[in-house]
Amino acid sequence: MECDYGVKDEYQAIESRRGWQPLFTEIREKSANFSIAESKKVANRDLNRYRDVNPFDHSRVVLRRGNCSYINASLVKVQAVERTYILTQGPLPSTVSHFWTMVWEQNCKIIAMLNNTIEKNQVKCHTYWPVGTHTNNMLTFEDVQLTVELVEEEHKQNYILRTLRLVDLDNEEVRLVRQYHYTTWPDFGVPTTPSDFIQYLQDIRNTGGLGPGTEEEPIGPAIVHCSAGIGRSGTFCIVDTALVNVKELLLEMRRYRMGLIQTAEQLRFSYLSIIEGAE
């Protein structure tokens, strides 16, 4: 991971004046405010996990197959580093087939899951993947003509890597998707140190699955989600792009999905991770 040491100077200046909360407040106040009319339609309201986290109309992902075109997910583009992400909420029981439709239609190869399904005794995300082997290793979604099969599950130090096989029942096309499930990141908080997270991110980067691929074999955007798809997910994207002017980058990303990075602590952790990843 490469990074200009201007980030380190910027971090030290903010740290010395205890300026994380003022900087976070400034970013929040300057963030773009676009239409969210589609998410507020009666038919779509129950498809949102949180009432106050909605995709902007201009950057939302639109589904094509099945009888529902809406999903709480946003295409976030960072032109300077040729990165495109899909940031989305943790699926609800009623939106699991929509989620896998998005994975298929957008040709996604990587899912970065940054939350646990239950946190602080609350359900934060439905278990949207097959959980076992043999009889429990496949999910079938008749409404969108897709199956999802668990091929392999590997337990790493801070994350679980699941290899999943998707099949289009209409034409029997098969694709493999890898889900990197980070298991030690607290909601609204940050990991204890950046090093474990940097290793997780580097493992994902090493697959080449963050795109854009080649002309012969293009790769769709990586799907990044936590519970709301803004706090931990926003932190992941900021650190991956690792640009010097983090404030301007975050403001640019917030043009595509509201509220990315939810706390001053997460903003500070982003800087620390960028610095550590460059050393």
Is this structure's pTM higher than 0.75?
Answer: yes
Q: Is the N-terminal amide bond of 212 cis, ω within 30° of 0? A: yes
The parent domain of residue 139 ranges over: 6-278
pLDDT (average), residues 35-62: 96
C-alpha dist (Å) from residue 103 to 23, 155, 174, 176, 179: 35, 23, 13, 11, 11
Per the domain annotation, does 245 fall within a domain?
A: yes
Measured between alpha carbons, how far is 164 from 69 in angstroms, rounded to an integer?
24
Per the domain annotation, does 251 fall within a domain?
A: yes
Provide the pairing of β-strand 174-182 with 159-168: antiparallel
Give strand pairing partners of 268: none
Per the domain annotation, does 1 fall within a domain?
A: no
Per the domain annotation, does 69 fall within a domain?
A: yes
The CATH number linked to 107 is 3.90.190.10
pLDDT (average), residues 236-250: 72
Task: Give the total number of structural domains in the chain.
Answer: 1
- Model confidence at 159: pLDDT above 60: yes
Structure confidence by residue, pLDDT tens digits, 178-211? 999 999 988 777 888 888 988 999 899 889 898 7
Whether 226 is catalytic is yes
Cβ atoms within 10 Å of 10's Cβ, excluding its own: 19
Contact between 90 and 119 (Cβ < 8 Å): no
Q: Which residue has the tokens 């949180």?
A: 50
Which of 108, 125, 226, 237 is the catalytic position? 226
Per the domain annotation, does 157 fall within a domain?
A: yes
Structure confidence by residue, pLDDT tens digits, 75-96? 999 887 778 999 999 999 999 9
Per the domain annotation, does 27 fall within a domain?
A: yes
